[in-house]
A and B are shown apart, each in its own frame.
Chain A
Amino acid sequence: SQTIHQWPATLVQPVGSPLSLECTVEGTSNPNLYWYRQAAGRGLQLLFYSVGIGQISSEVPQNLSASRPQDRQFILSSKKLLLSDSGFYLCAWSVLETGELFFGEGSRLTVL
């Protein structure tokens, strides 16, 4: 069966520091992968999605970037964090036939 993992689960970082959140999927090949962010009271915001290795689409201009170095690995990065980058980050992969998403456990980022 398919599983998705992301880490770290919790992260507290100072403003201006770098960021790396990692997500891996097991049990499926060539998945579509997604990064979402949840800020308090603001629902789910799609940040990036990828349909294959090295193929990244950005949904909103921001301080973050994403990379997909391997088929089942998706990384969210920043060179210099801002206070506004705080939030709950969710990685997900989708079933092509129906479009439904399966989510990881989430990573809580607090920028101080």
Chain B
Amino acid sequence: AQSVTQLGSHVSVSEGALVLLRCNYSSSVPPYLFWYVQYPNQGLQLLLKYTSAATLVKGINGFEAEFKKSETSFHLTKPSAHMSDAAEYFCAVTNRDDKIIFGKGTRLHILP
């Protein structure tokens, strides 16, 4: 069985500071991992995905995530936060043969 844990339902960072959103997963087979972003009253948009190629994945809007098998983690980072990054972020895992599983989400707040 697969699962995803996102640490922190709310994270606040200052504008210009590092963004770090944490995601740990559990999967009995090599996983595919995703980060999605959701702005208010909109659908989820794919930020980036890991599908067993390079372990450091670059996505849209300057975000990136690193797959660490030994730590079962797929944390999302961005070097410098922008006000427009305020949104809810979802980590997700699948193994192609099963349905995608989402974390509960982390709401990112950007402080001026």
Contact = CB atoms under 8 A, between A and B. Distances in A.
Most buried by B among A44, A97, A102, A105: A44
B46 A100 contact: yes
A62 interface: no
A100 B43 contact: no
Contact of A44 (B42, B51, B96, B102): B102
Nearest to A45: B102
Interface in B41-59: 41-46, 49, 51
A74 interface: no
A97 B96 contact: yes
Contacts of B51: 98
Nearest to A59: B99
Interface residues of B, number: 23
Interface of A: 43-44, 46, 49, 88, 90, 92, 94, 96-106, 108
Given A43-B103, A43-B104, A44-B102, A102 B46 contact: yes
Contacts of B100: 94, 99-101
A90 B41 CA distance: 10
B41 A108 contact: yes
A53 B100 CA distance: 21
B32 A100 contact: yes
Contacts of A92: 43-44
Nearest to B102: A44
B28 to A, nearest CB: 15
A99 B90 CA distance: 15
Given A44-B90, A44-B102, A94-B100, A101 B32 contact: no
Given A44-B90, A90-B44, A100 B102 contact: no
A104 B38 CA distance: 12
Interface string B74-100: 000000000000000010101110111
Interface string B8-52: 000000000000000000000000101010000111111001010
Nearest to A96: B96
